[in-house]
């Protein structure tokens, strides 16, 4: 019959197994923390780049507002000119109509009256 295991050896074996389990668990945790640290570093760089881009956007927006203010000064003048051009176009159409009427009337006149 086999002799019963020595209690000291059994305890040493259990402690060794527990130690190995803790080492594996600790190594996995350290590995996970390393990956998490790398990901955090990567995200920090990404967000830093985004912050710089946002600063540039703020500057661009300020420049655009200033340019819009300059252009806005002339917007009413452009509208006024556009209205005048529209009025001139209407007058030209009316004058063209009158010219066509006069040409018809002149063409109906006898040749002797046209020569005067």
Q: CA–CA distance from 59 to each of 51, 63, 65, 67 (Å)?
A: 13, 6, 10, 12
What's residue 81's pLDDT?
95
Mean pLDDT of 77-88: 95
Neighbours of 43 (CB within 10 A): 10
- What is the largest distance, in Å, between two alpha-carbon atoms of the chain? 155
User: For 54-65, how does the pLDDT look when each residue is reduced to its tens digit (9 = 90+)?
Assistant: 888 888 999 999
Cut 0.85: pTM above it:
no
d(CA 46, CA 43): 5
3-state secondary structure at position 2: coil
Confidence at 1, pLDDT banded by 50, 70, 90: low
Sign of the torsion formed by the C-alpha atoms of 34, 37, 43 and 46? negative
User: For 24-52, how does the pLDDT look when each residue is reduced to its tens digit (9 = 90+)?
Assistant: 999 999 999 999 999 999 999 999 999 98
């Amino acid at each position: 019959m086999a002799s019963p295991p020595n209690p000291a050896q059994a305890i040493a074996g259990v402690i060794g197994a527990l130690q190995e389990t803790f080492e594996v668990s600790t190594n996995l945790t350290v590995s996970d923390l390393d990956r998490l640290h790398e990901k955090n570093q990567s995200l920090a760089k990404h967000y830093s780049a985004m912050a710089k881009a946002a600063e540039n956007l703020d500057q661009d927006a300020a420049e655009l507002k200033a340019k819009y203010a300059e252009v806005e000064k002339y917007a009413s003048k452009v509208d006024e000119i556009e209205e005048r051009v529209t009025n001139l176009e209407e007058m030209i159409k009316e004058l063209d109509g009158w010219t066509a009427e006069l040409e018809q009337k002149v063409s109906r006149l006898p040749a002797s009256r046209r020569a005067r």
